[in-house]
């Protein structure tokens, strides 16, 4: 077959060992190994287990024999891998890399491509479906106290039919995701608000949603979104390293319903989070002044943010005393300047909020303001084509003056 953009299929590894080590047939692992072995890329960027299954750390692989280190999924892979691509791989300026990416990773990479910080031609994005990631410490506590299971024995978790399902080799338990999250458990708060579950901005997207019948649990659903993705998949199929089967129409329908149910959950979370916040962008920012008054100006949010783009941070350049000196709490202009720089491109990845020692809901604030930008300009960060620039970079007939 000749693979084309928008094609869908079920896929699993032709290598029995990789099929067992990987999740849902080892399709992602096999594709990465194939690209590395055949010189399509110089390296593979993925994540591997750190201290335990709840600790995901980035790994750059250039030896195909090491590819199995990235097999399977981790329960709390909360990092945004776009930061690694842009900062530590110099935007893949002189290296070709295949990267596994969640939707927020792929969206952030797209925004950084627009800003000229990542070279798209040197990157292949293998997207993975994501219903949300979970905070490591709280998740371990939840599994022990709510599910009454050993967190170190967990082999898989997923959201299905409104429930968060946790599995070990010998047991499976599920609880309502709504009820868990009302109690402050379950997914990270930014993930609860995320309406993008299938990374259509990647070159292809893979996941278990929609795999039914005898292949359920043994294969991966694949959808192709770019010519680059189609070419890689076509070559892998022709080489015989993966097996494929046409996607079942019923499976395609089920996948769509699962995705829509996740979107509905996100809309419900957004409604709860900021539906009562009215007014223009500055008025929205003012609603959170009490939270920002706790800021100790540690710069953690800036350091964690994958979108911040100044080579030399403007917040530390020669400027007014209220900005450059260690005033505690930070002057409002500190956060306003960061907002101007990145909020139109904020992908709600939650990195800023995770590192804040004062527990300021930074991601929620930026997501609230970003929602206003979407509402005013009809601009969706991380999703629009490369040629569509941020509305804050030029004047339009409609805008803030309206």
Residue 328: predicted pLDDT: 72
How many angstroms separate the CA atoms of 62 and 96, rounded?
Answer: 11
Q: Specify the pLDDT at position 129.
A: 94
State mean pLDDT over 225-251. 96
Of the ranges 141-155, 248-262, 296-310, which one carries the lowest mean pLDDT score? 296-310
pLDDT of residue 29: 94
| pLDDT for 1 | 57
142 has pLDDT over 90: yes
pLDDT band at 324 (very low <50, low <70, confident <90, very high): low
Q: Find, among 42, 40, 71, the residue nearest to 235 by Cα.
A: 40
**pLDDT digits 0-9 by tens, 158-204:** 877 788 899 999 999 999 988 999 899 989 999 999 999 999 999 99
DSSP 247: P
Distance CA 229, CA 74 (A): 24
Neighbours of 261 (CB within 10 A): 16
What's the whole-number mean pLDDT along residues 258-279?
85
User: What does pLDDT average to over the chain?
Assistant: 88
Tokens read off for 237:
């199929």
Q: Which two tokens stand for residue 31?
A: 């594709």
Instruction: Compute the distance between CA of residue 173 and CA of residue 166 in angstroms, rounded to an integer.
Output: 6
List Cα–Cα distances, 342 to 254, 358, 366, in angstroms: 36, 21, 9
**Upstream peptide bond of 329 is cis (omega within 30 degrees of 0):** yes
Alpha-carbon 123 to chain mean position:
16
Starting from the edge strand earliest in sequence, which strands make up the sheet with 8-13, in order?
56-61, 43-49, 97-101, 123-128, 204-207, 220-224, 8-13, 242-246
What are the tokens at 215? 């292949």
Instruction: Say if residue 401's pLDDT is above 50.
Output: no
Q: Which of 350, 367, 363, 357 is nearest to 330 (CA)?
A: 357
Element (H, E) at 368: helix 362-377
Query: Hey, which of 119-123, 154-158, 293-297, 358-362 has the most confident mean pLDDT?
Result: 119-123
Q: Which helix (DSSP H) or strand (DSSP E) does residue 370 occupy?
A: helix 362-377
Which pLDDT score is estimated for 402?
Answer: 45
- Nearest-Å Rg of the Cα atoms of the chain is 21
Long-range Cβ contact pairs of 224-227 (< 8 A, separation 24 or more): 224/3, 224/4, 224/5, 224/6, 224/7, 224/8, 225/5, 225/6, 225/127, 225/200, 225/201, 226/5, 227/5
């Amino acid at each position: 077959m000749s693979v084309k953009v928008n094609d869908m299929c079920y896929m699993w590894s032709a290598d029995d060992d990789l099929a067992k080590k990987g999740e849902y047939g080892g399709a992602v692992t096999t594709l990465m190994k194939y690209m590395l072995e055949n010189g399509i890329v110089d390296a593979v960027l993925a994540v591997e287990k750190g201290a335990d299954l709840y600790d995901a750390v980035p790994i750059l692989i250039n030896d195909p024999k090491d590819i199995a280190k990235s097999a399977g999924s981790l329960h709390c892979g909360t990092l945004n891998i776009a930061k690694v691509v842009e900062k530590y791989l110099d935007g893949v300026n002189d290296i070709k890399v295949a990267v596994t990416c969640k939707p927020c990773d792929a969206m952030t990479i797209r925004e950084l491509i627009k800003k000229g910080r990542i070279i798209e031609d040197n990157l292949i994005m293998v997207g993975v479906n994501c219903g949300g990631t979970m905070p490591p410490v709280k998740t371990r506590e939840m599994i022990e106290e709510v599910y009454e299971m050993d967190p170190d024995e967990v082999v898989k978790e997923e959201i299905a039919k409104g429930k968060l399902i946790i599995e070990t080799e010998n047991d499976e338990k599920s609880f309502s995701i709504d009820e868990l999250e009302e109690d402050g458990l379950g997914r990270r708060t930014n993930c609860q608000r995320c309406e993008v579950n299938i990374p259509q901005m990647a070159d292809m997207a893979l996941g278990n949603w929609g795999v039914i019948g005898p292949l359920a649990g043994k294969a991966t659903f694949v959808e192709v979104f770019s010519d680059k993705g189609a070419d890689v998949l076509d070559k892998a199929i022709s080489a015989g390293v993966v097996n494929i089967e046409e996607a079942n129409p019923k499976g395609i329908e089920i996948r769509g319903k699962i995705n829509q149910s996740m979107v509905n959950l996100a809309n419900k979370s957004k409604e709860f989070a900021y539906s009562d916040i009215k007014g223009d962008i500055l008025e929205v920012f003012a609603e959170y002044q009490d939270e920002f008054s706790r800021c100790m100006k540690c710069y953690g949010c800036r350091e964690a943010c994958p979108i911040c783009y100044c080579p030399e941070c403007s917040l530390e350049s020669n400027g007014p005393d209220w900005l450059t000196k260690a005033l505690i709490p930070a002057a409002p202009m500190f956060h306003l300047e960061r907002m101007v720089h990145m909020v139109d491109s904020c992908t709600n990845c939650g990195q800023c909020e995770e590192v804040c020692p004062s527990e300021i809901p930074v991601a929620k604030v930026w997501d609230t303001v970003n929602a206003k930008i979407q509402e005013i300009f009809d601009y969706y960060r991380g999703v629009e084509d490369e040629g569509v620039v941020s509305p804050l970079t030029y004047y339009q007939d409609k805008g803030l003056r309206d």
